[in-house]
Amino acid sequence: MARKKVAILISGRGSNMRALIEACAAKSYPARIVAVVSNRPEAPGLDIARQRGLEAVAIDHTKFASRAAFESALDEILRAAGTQIICNAGFMRLLSGGFVRKWHNRHLNIHPSLLPAYKGLHTHERVLEDGVRITGCTVHFVRTEMDAGPIVAQAAVPVCAGDTPESLAARVLAAEHRIYPHALELVASGAARVRDEKVILRQSGAAPDTLFWPRP
């Protein structure tokens, strides 16, 4: 089967992007990267992508007169690259309904919490403030509501005594780097699909397993 053409959207560091690039390096992986796009020209992830020989472009959203104009330029770049699946990897710009609908069920996002808990920013700070013991990360299909949509993969990550937002973020990020390649593999291979706004495995009809990180 032909490998699915993936575009990665970033805004910053790009460590999840790097995890996807590394997964795509295996010939047996069902996806390959055709474009990396950042809405911030200074995103360090752009250089990481270029060093790995990928086409990486910045389209600075501040230079566009409207959200619609930015999104139509983004859509054009994605289509010109032959994109079949979009992966948001630390892409911190909200996309409007028009764009989201065009890429329905072909657009993934990663978020550093166990959704639907802790949508939005500062997830680790809020987890620590609430005294939550288990947190994690989620890869989900993008919908118009922020940080919502059918869940492809989640990893549960313990909150440890003495954690700071930084130490917790680092533990969750390590889990993110495991589940994003796993989730993209499920979607790109066709093993997972959306039915009634839930993700099920084609073979069993069951939801994909939850991962635990670090493994118990």
How far apart, in whole angstroms, are the C-alpha atoms of residue 108 and residue 86?
6
Q: Which amino acid is at 19?
A: A
Judged by CB under 6 A, the number of residues near ligand GAR is 15
3-state secondary structure at position 19: helix
State yes or no: residue 23 binds ligand GAR (CB under 6 A). no
How far apart, in whole angstroms, are the C-alpha atoms of residue 117 and residue 145?
14
Nearest approach in angstroms of CB 62 to ligand GAR is 19
State yes or no: residue 15 binds ligand GAR (CB under 6 A). yes
CA-derived radius of gyration, the chain: 17
Catalytic status, residue 61: no
State yes or no: residue 86 binds ligand GAR (CB under 6 A). no
* Nearer residue to ligand GAR within complex by CB, 70 or 91: 91
The neighbour count for residue 131, using CB atoms within 10 Å, is 7
DSSP for 158-213, please give it: E--TT--HHHHHHHHHHHHHHHHHHHHHHHHTTSEEEETTEEEETTT-SPPPPEES
Q: Judged by CB under 6 A, which of 57, 73, 132, 173 binds ligand GAR? A: 173
State yes or no: residue 14 binds ligand GAR (CB under 6 A). yes
Q: Judged by CB under 6 A, which of 95, 142, 143, 176 binds ligand GAR? A: 176
State yes or no: residue 147 binds ligand GAR (CB under 6 A). yes
3-state secondary structure at position 62: helix
Marked catalytic residue, from 61, 104, 107, 111: 111
Nearest approach in angstroms of CB 202 to ligand GAR is 27
| List of residues contacting ligand GAR (CB under 6 A) | 10, 12-16, 45, 89-90, 110-112, 147, 173, 176
User: Which residues belong to the active site?
Assistant: 111
